[in-house]
Amino acid sequence: MSLMVGTTVAHGGEPGADRGTAEPGAEDGRAAVRLAKFHVPEIVFGPGSLAEIGHCALRLGGRRPFLVTDPGLIEAGWADEAIRHLRRAGLRPVLWHDVTPNPKDHEVEAGFRRYAESGADVIIGLGGGSCIDAAKGVAILSGNGGRILDYEGVDQVVHPIPPTVMVPSTSGTGADVSQFAVITDTTEHTKITIVSRTLVPETSLIDPRLLTTMPGWLNAATGLDALTHAVEAFVSRAHNPLTDNHALHAVRLIIENLTRTQVRPGDFDARLAMAQASLEAGMAFTNAILGATHAMSHQVGGLLDAPHGVVNGVLLPHVIRLNAQAWPERFVPLAEAAGIPVEGMPPYEAALRLAERVRTLADDVGVPKGLASLGVAEADVPRLSRTTLKDACMATNPRELDVHDVQTLFYEAL
């Protein structure tokens, strides 16, 4: 499997080559980054920025935008506010809201049929990662046809798609800036990962006000998802200096602010910080890609329809410990960003302390300690491990893992 266009392997070579242990020589400059591409949308950030949604759509040639959202966003009033702004800009929006968490293949295909029937143009995703991924799925089918499951993997979306504007309502998925879409295959009960530069939206419109209506469990889940994005992007085989800076700053912001948003939901400074953390983690992982935590989490989510960020929060400490056996030095800056005093500390110990810090944060925001509490059984592990190895995120994990390694991680995380 080839790496998506727009990323650079920092240790010289394609991700399929020598995906074993550490990045030898990288830290002393012998394996230099030759080229770093950084692909992100136009970003409109700040309180009240939802008012810009009509102008964003107009700049992309929109006349009849297709607004993808879900019942929760409608109940919270954000869909109505978005529609008002679109109409004030002279647009005639079409609303589609039949999206559930972990968007399903048949939902995306139904959304595309509604899009085609309506004569809509620009596609807007308003909501969490599920709404945004569903909107991307509709865009893929509009430009390329077929079934959404046909596009699993890297660079399978070969034809242009309609312009997209994404408005996140959670602080964690990063879908509003990424080249990823994750869709549930309801026949196989797995999630597929679609990776294509065409999926990077034209505009990401980030209004931290929308974060204030998240339920607590979703705030915790998406915050841990953002932390996982930042950690996995930093240790990815495709990291570069541009992604590194954003990943480290995202870790610092999340460690300092996620618990504050959980215990004081009205703390707007903390909400603003988490909105920025989600954005920076998203910019990092869309260019550096991810690793084994996400590859494993996708399988659990596909099997059980479990909250993605919660699964990440359970798995991440275990994956940190395993990956650090191959490349402990890389985890030292992450530990320092997480507030751990690392001076004079052996690198592997710093990595273990980081894993402990992640688990403590998960405890603080109410995430269960094991996958068994989410419904994963020992009998599920062999199948989950096999499908994990097929996930696109495995290509950039910092060490190569076989099915036995993945099984061990799943058993440890039960």
Cα 143–Cα 148–Cα 152 angle in degrees, nearest 5: 105
Point out the least confidently predicted range of 14-18, 187-191, 206-210, 407-411: 14-18
pTM of the full structure: 0.91
Residue 31 pLDDT > 90: no
Is residue 255 within 8 A of residue 364, CB to CB? The reply is no
In whole numbers, what is the pLDDT of the chain averaged over residues?
92
Q: What is the pLDDT of residue 12?
A: 31
Write the CA distances from 405 to 33, 385, 399, integer angstroms: 29, 9, 11
Q: What is the pLDDT of residue 32?
A: 52
Residues 40-68 have a mean pLDDT of 97
Question: With bands split at pLDDT 50, 70 and 90, how would you rate the model's confidence at 34?
Answer: low
Beta-carbon neighbour count of residue 164 at 10 Å? 28
Report all structural domains of the chain as residue ranges with CATH numbers, in order of start: 42-212 (3.40.50.1970), 226-413 (1.20.1090.10)
Beta-carbon neighbour count of residue 160 at 10 Å? 11
Question: With bands split at pLDDT 50, 70 and 90, how would you rate the model's confidence at 6?
Answer: very low
369-391 pLDDT per residue, tens: 999 999 999 999 999 999 999 99
Write the CA distances from 391 to 7, 87, 249, integer angstroms: 18, 41, 27
Q: What are the two backbone dihedrals, phi and then psi, of residue 173, each rounded to the nearest 5 degrees?
A: -75, -30
Beta-carbon neighbour count of residue 36 at 10 Å? 18
How far is the C-alpha of 239 from the C-alpha of 298, rounded, in Å? 21
* Burial (Cβ within 10 Å: 0-12, 13-18, ≥19) of residue 145: exposed
Cα 316–Cα 322–Cα 327 angle in degrees, nearest 5: 110
Question: With bands split at pLDDT 50, 70 and 90, how would you rate the model's confidence at 35?
Answer: confident
How far is the C-alpha of 226 from the C-alpha of 249, rounded, in Å? 12
- What does 72-135 look like in DSSP terms, one character per residue? HHHHHTHHHHHHHHHHHTT---EEE----SS-BHHHHHHHHHHHHHHT--SEEEEESHHHHHHH
346-374 pLDDT per residue, tens: 999 999 999 999 999 999 999 999 999 99
83-135 pLDDT per residue, tens: 999 999 999 999 999 999 999 999 999 999 999 999 999 999 999 999 999 99
Q: Do β-strands 190-195 and 180-185 pair in parallel, antiparallel, or remain unpaired?
A: antiparallel
At a CB cut-off of 8 Å and minimum separation 6, what does 238 contact? 3, 7, 8, 9, 10, 15, 287, 288, 289, 396
Q: What is the pLDDT of residue 37?
A: 81
